[in-house]
Amino acid sequence: MRVVAEIPHAAVKITVFAWNGKYLIKLERGPYEQTYKISEMEVATDEAIKQLLDETFINEAVGLFQQMHHNLMLALERIE
């Protein structure tokens, strides 16, 4: 697996990897991460990946991070 790009963003850390005919787009925020796997045939260039990661995509991902945090907090409350 090799790092293709690190894309700066204020809300999340974005790292793009190439591996086994796929791009892995890893988003990190605090202790949480999301990984999206996309065939190299779906996006031809690094620039196409950046276009995919528009503000709508990032905003939706941030919402998922918030839901992940909420889910974890609820689970931790159940075991206390």
- Quick: pLDDT tens for 14-67: 999 999 999 999 999 999 999 999 999 999 888 899 899 999 999 999 999 999
Q: Is 29 helix (H, G, I), strand (E, B) or coil?
A: strand
Phi, psi of 67 (to 5 degrees): -65, -40
- Please report the pLDDT score of residue 78 as a whole number: 96
Give the closest residue to 39 by CA, choosing from 54, 51, 24.
24
Enumerate residues 6+ apart whose C-beta is below 8 A from 79: none
What is the pTM for the complete model shown? 0.90
54 touches 40 (CB < 8 A):
no
Q: Is 42 exposed, middle or buried (0-12, 13-18, 19+ CB in 10 A)?
A: exposed
